[in-house]
Structure 1
Amino acid sequence: MKNKSSRRRRNLNATQKATRDEAAASNVIENRLSNLPNDLLLNILERLDTLDAIRTCILSKQLLKLPTMLLRFYLTFSLKQVLRTNRVVAHVTDIILSTRSPEVTISELKIRFVLLPDNSLTIGRSVARAMATQKVGTAEFEIVTKKHHGLCSSADLLQFAKQFNDLFGACPRAFAGLTSLLLENMRFGELDIPKILSTSKRLEYLRLTRCDSGFHSVVQVEHDQLVEIEVEICLPKLQRLTYDNWFSSEYPLYFGFLPQLSKLSLIKTGIRSDKTLELSQLLANVPSLGDLHLDFGSEKIWILPECPKLVTPVLNKLQHVNLDHLPEGCDLAWTMFILKVAPSLKELCITVWDHWCIMITNKELRKKYCFCEKADVKWKPYAPDFKNKNLAKLTIYGFQPDDNFMRCIGCVVEHAVNITEISLYGRKVCGRYGDLDPEIHDNVCPSRYPPTTEERK
């Protein structure tokens, strides 16, 4: 009995000692933190998510006033955490932003939250008040939905869009101050996106993940400040797509599975830093492409002639190719890779044209904006004796009777064993200014296209 009582007393004493040690350690931490200047404490706290910073401040009474002085306001949990802590996010946003001094600038504000009416409204109104009474630098909303896209019906997409529109209508000042907006799983009305953009005048970045305006819809995007737009969509019935002049050194699009996409048009005025696109990667999930239009804007060729083993599986159903606005002086030999990698190709149209109406011709401006000097695209035939048995028609605009064009035509005739028609035309006439472009161009770089019927024969 004495041994048991002794052990109990020793255990109790050990527990009490541990408690005293923890309290002492806590006091030491509190004292050390309390002794640091506020500027240093804020610098430390701003490296944390705002909720973690608040938890840290609970350690000391002196620290409790610091959360309202933070320059960075970050509430960006993982998506699983957001679903559990959405109410906390709303409460913290309301408390912190409503008790801040208007004299303290918010340099960065970033909030991720679930689109739930009550919580979302609390966040929206709190941020709107902050926008109205305080200086706010960059500000971002990432709004997620309570359902994963794979579980969303059409009714769900419409409901989420309505909930967002209700929030947007109730808190326009909050959205007017945003510089970034990330949305997902919404089916908007035709005028919703333009309304969002016209209100969010500071917006620089917009990401729409699996958002649309219904089938056969057109989304109008016009904005003076928008620097980057990222669109991630699921369109199993999409058949035609045109993408005009992206501004990025990376790939312009990443396609999910698009089983019905049959016609693709890519338009790009290339500069030196632009990434060269590989069709084998870009079109890996587009199995039914039959019509491809590539417009180079009379500048850099931004398509890489690839090894047939890589790209033929992607382009084996391609029947019509239009290579538009190739720069004059560019070696046309690289275009032959299309014949090799697209065995079903029936028609090939090539337009060679330095279209001065769309080009920047000033040397200083070309240097400033990193436009390329004219350079050939290097291509080495992987199988010089290949045969394309389906190409029936070749059309060339901007034809000149020189070695460049004659070699190109000779290669087509050699490899397209069943070709029946070759049509050769001079420079195209500018549709915007009538005959103005060819007249000006011919004064500097006269066309050598045969002017008479006899010469053309």
Structure 2
Amino acid sequence: MGKGNKDDRLSALPDDILFNILDRLNVPEAARTSILSRRWSQLCPKLSRLIINALDFLPEVVSRTNISVDEVVKINAAAAEATESVLARRNPGEHTIHLLSTTFYLRGDVPIFIGHAVGHAMSTHLVENVEFSIRTGKDHVAEIEGDDELVTWAREFMLFFDACPNAFGGLTSLDLGNLRFGESGISCILTTCKRLKHLYLYNCDSGDGSTLQVEHANLSVLCIVNCCLAQVKLNWLPQLTQLAFDGWIELQDPLVLGHVPLLEAVCLTNVGLSVNKMVKLSTFLSSTSVQDLKLGFCSEKIWVQPECLTESLASVFRQLRFVNLVELPEGYDLTWTMFILEAAPFLKELYMTVWDHVCHMELDEEKRKKLQYSENKGVEWGSTASDFQHHSLVTLVIFGFESEEYFVSYVKRIMAAAINLEDVFLYSRLELECGKCQDLKPTRFPWTKRQKISLKKRITTGIESFAIIHSSGPSRRPSPPPPPSPAPPRRRCFLPPPILRNLVGGRGGGAGGRGESAAAAGGQHDEDSENFDFCMCNPPFFESMEEAGLNPKTSCAGTAEEMACPGGEQAFITHLIEDSVSFKNSFRWFTSMVGRKANLKLLASKVREAGASVVKTTEFVQGQTARWGLAWSFIAPRKNVIRSSTPGKVHHSFMLQGLRRGNGAFQVLKSAETFFCASNLSCKTDSLSFSIDVTLPDEQTQAATLDCDDLPGSVEDNSTKVHSIVTGASFRISVFEQMPDTLLIKGSLLNKSLSGTFTSLFSQLEEMLKTEFVSKDR
């Protein structure tokens, strides 16, 4: 890569791109590039990200899992030297350091040497983020020889801490492990590290059964893992957004949440023993409103207590969007998780891993009894209403799925309740093997075509759902687990008709030529073939290239095969319509561009003759050019308004779609409140949760069922008549924003004895709100 090498394209790149490349390397790797040329040697002192890890100086022949004391001393000294060298070569104030991260061991004077170098850099350079990750050489609790060792390491750390106040004063991230501090040790650290944003504590405490009280103005991420603490009190953390609490002693209220107004992501993990009490999330997470919740069970007893829907539980889950249940024990009913859906109306994605991870489990029967592991790991729950519906859940992902009845019934139940569910992803347990696990028992995942067809029928029989069921590939070889978030991508299909039949039908074939229709080639498409969201076609508009050149104002681009075919676009799209009949169960939507408006009406009529249940057309205009779109589906549309007037139901809901400009959830809530208050009914409005608790007067002694047709007139007139004939009942009206200009109105009856009255009142409310807020053209 010398100056005379004409093929050195990397060195020819501008400096900003080379900086971007070097910033992705650790310091030893970036430093090696200095030998390439003078230009490369001048780049390293200007890097914005400096990541120095003692382990990066470990010889390749030495395993990171078994490092000797001598090797630790060597690599620690190398890390200290690299830190001092790379900071000394920088010109003060010339280039901002966006990240300065150092990982080293508590050995001798090395930590203090690194601390002084970092502190000096912070006083002479603009440093945005500084991270210390401090190791003791013991990565797991089981490696600790005793409490005295923890105390010794803590003393070493405090010597380092006291010697480097400048470094710790500007620290933004601190990672500590295997330390037992004095009574005020952790509090002293928090007081000194005023800029601290991230704090990670592993096996750190102030003695068995100690209490950790945390107050900090800037801390945004707090992780507490395997710390022997009786209680964690988060008294005042105004910037805290993420909390991880892994492993706690079974005492009263192990976690107390104080002022944490911004907390939105919570991860709770614990090993449930037979002597442990169940945890109520409404109490554990009280005074919060999380959006992302992860619960870990370590393949042991389920420690979460399912709860009936209460005001406190609804408040905790009112903003919940994502739930991830990790390492649930195998073989136990999953129905208890439905209580989360009931309390979280905005939940969008639900992930769960059902897996007995033997690498992390205690398998010896004698030890399990001695340590009081539970033999029955499941929990029962059966209070979910049969007519319960969830309007927001769109994705369900299950890792470790088996063709067992408890799995099948659970997926069926979710698909029936989540009326807007789009995708169900099912993965085998083999996808989760960590490399150390031995496959102790066979998996019952549906691998074969026949097994998949059977599973699909078992799940979908008796329910209506548009959700697509996906399963992992047929390979039985273990592979790394797919990431739990974000959700696996939805499959899209952009296929013109000539290969629609061949690719989806699995009959081979090429990408060119027309061929005969799928129906003529082999009849109906197999149900078990892969499902797609839509097929999008941009057909050849002309019958020949001569026709394409007739209009001098038309600019045509493309090959002859792309622009022309026998019969033109009318014949081409007709073939697509014929093929769509054979693949109606594999595609949600078929779409095609249409170049001539004269063909649009004829093609739409052919689609209807083919039996499509939905046919849509639209126009695309850009400048002086117009094209038309044709879309059709053989799947019957779902009704947007969900309403029932059947007495006996305790939940009703309907949608307000196409709201008039300037109206939203707040205006609808106030109008509903006016509707009930006009009849002197008691209303308690909660503007934070967008709900109204309505109490009918106790002095009324008769119940009656109202019919909307019997109460003509204004809202005030109707409300007066309502007041005159209904008796004491109590119900809740909630308003949820589904998307712009669309609201979901949900009513829940709290006094089940007067369901008929509640149904009629809710029907009147629906009629009134639609009249007031929905545009007339809807």
User: TM-score, normalising length from structure 1?
Assistant: 0.57
Q: Secondary structure at the match of 1:309?
A: coil
- The match for 2:255 is 243
Q: Deviations over 1:209-232 (max 9, x none)?
A: 111111121112110001110110
Q: Deviations over 1:284-308 (max 9, x none)?
A: 646789999999657535399x998
Q: Is the 8 A contact 1:238 1:260 kept in 2?
A: no
Q: Secondary structure at the match of 2:103?
A: strand
- The match for 1:105 is 96
Please point out which of 255, 262, 277 is paired with 2:270.
255
User: TM-score, normalising length from structure 2?
Assistant: 0.35
- The match for 2:111 is 120
Q: 1:154 to 1:59 in 2, by over 3 A?
A: same
- The match for 2:222 is 229
- The match for 1:73 is 50
Q: Deviations over 1:328-350 (max 9, x none)?
A: xxxxx6699xxxxxxxxxxxxxx
- The match for 1:140 is 131
Q: 1:291 to 1:47 in 2, by over 3 A?
A: closer
Q: Secondary structure at the match of 1:189?
A: coil
- The match for 2:30 is 53
- The match for 1:154 is 147
How many angstroms apart in 2 are the aligned matches of 1:58 and 1:267? Answer: 55
- The match for 2:636 is none
Alignment of 1:46-445 (within 5 A): 46-76=23-53, 77=55, 83=72, 85-103=75-93, 104-148=95-139, 149-152=141-144, 153-233=146-226, 235=228, 238-240=249-251, 241-245=253-257, 248-256=263-271, 261-262=276-277, 264=279, 265-271=283-289, 273-275=291-293, 285=300, 297=312, 299-300=314-315, 302=317, 309-310=333-334, 313-314=376-377, 371-374=688-691, 402=730, 407=752
CA positional deviation for 1:180: 0.9
CA positional deviation for 1:187: 0.9
CA positional deviation for 1:375: 9.6
Q: Is the 8 A contact 1:139 1:180 kept in 2?
A: yes
Q: Is the 8 A contact 1:204 1:227 kept in 2?
A: yes
Gaps of 5+ in 2: 57-63, 229-246, 337-374, 387-665, 670-686, 694-727, 732-748, 754-778
Q: 1:95 to 1:31 in 2, by over 3 A?
A: same
Q: 1:296 to 1:60 in 2, by over 3 A?
A: farther
CA positional deviation for 1:175: 1.1
CA positional deviation for 1:169: 0.5
Q: Is the 8 A contact 1:69 1:100 kept in 2?
A: yes
**Aligned-partner residue type, residue 254 of structure 2:** T
Q: Is the 8 A contact 1:190 1:219 kept in 2?
A: no
Q: Is the 8 A contact 1:206 1:230 kept in 2?
A: yes
How many angstroms apart in 2 are the aligned matches of 1:126 and 1:299? Answer: 51
How many angstroms apart in 2 are the aligned matches of 1:259 and 1:184? Answer: 29
Q: Secondary structure at the match of 1:181?
A: strand
Higher RCO structure (Cα 8 Å, ≥6 apart): 1
How many angstroms apart in 2 are the aligned matches of 1:168 and 1:128? Answer: 12
**Aligned-partner residue type, residue 130 of structure 1:** A
How many angstroms apart in 1 are the aligned matches of 2:166 and 2:213? Answer: 22
Identity of aligned residues (%): 29
The structure with more helix, counted as a fraction of residues: 1
Q: Secondary structure at the match of 1:214?
A: coil
Q: Secondary structure at the match of 1:117?
A: coil
Q: Is the 8 A contact 1:237 1:259 kept in 2?
A: no
Q: Is the 8 A contact 1:237 1:258 kept in 2?
A: no
**Aligned-partner residue type, residue 220 of structure 2:** V
How many angstroms apart in 1 are the aligned matches of 2:25 and 2:124? Answer: 25
CA positional deviation for 1:269: 3.4
Q: Deviations over 1:304-361 (max 9, x none)?
A: 9x99824594576x9xxxxxxxxxxxxxx6699xxxxxxxxxxxxxxxxxxxxxxxxx
**Alignment size in residue pairs:** 315
Q: Is the 8 A contact 1:269 1:298 kept in 2?
A: no
Q: 1:261 to 1:291 in 2, by over 3 A?
A: farther
**Aligned-partner residue type, residue 178 of structure 2:** N
RMSD across aligned positions (CA) = 4.5
CA positional deviation for 1:142: 1.1
**Aligned-partner residue type, residue 116 of structure 2:** R
How many angstroms apart in 2 are the aligned matches of 1:139 and 1:258? Answer: 40
Q: Is the 8 A contact 1:300 1:374 kept in 2?
A: no
**Aligned-partner residue type, residue 373 of structure 1:** F
Q: Secondary structure at the match of 2:121?
A: helix
Q: 1:270 to 1:146 in 2, by over 3 A?
A: closer
CA positional deviation for 1:136: 0.5
How many angstroms apart in 2 are the aligned matches of 1:165 and 1:232? Answer: 21
Q: 1:232 to 1:138 in 2, by over 3 A?
A: same
Q: Secondary structure at the match of 1:137?
A: coil
CA positional deviation for 1:206: 0.5
Q: Deviations over 1:81-134 (max 9, x none)?
A: 894622211100011112321113211111111221322122111101111221
Q: 1:145 to 1:260 in 2, by over 3 A?
A: farther
**Aligned-partner residue type, residue 43 of structure 1:** N
How many angstroms apart in 2 are the aligned matches of 1:158 and 1:294? Answer: 46
Q: Deviations over 1:395-433 (max 9, x none)?
A: xxxxx975855559xxxxxxxxxxxxxxxxxxxxxxxxx
Q: Secondary structure at the match of 1:28?
A: coil
Q: 1:27 to 1:257 in 2, by over 3 A?
A: farther
Please point out which of 10, 17, 20 is paired with 1:43.
20
Q: 1:406 to 1:53 in 2, by over 3 A?
A: same
Q: Is the 8 A contact 2:332 2:378 kept in 1?
A: no
Q: 1:283 to 1:63 in 2, by over 3 A?
A: closer
CA positional deviation for 1:259: 6.7
Q: 1:177 to 1:270 in 2, by over 3 A?
A: closer
**Aligned-partner residue type, residue 122 of structure 1:** F
Q: 1:27 to 1:48 in 2, by over 3 A?
A: farther
How many angstroms apart in 2 are the aligned matches of 1:86 and 1:198? Answer: 28
How many angstroms apart in 2 are the aligned matches of 1:315 and 1:233? Answer: 24
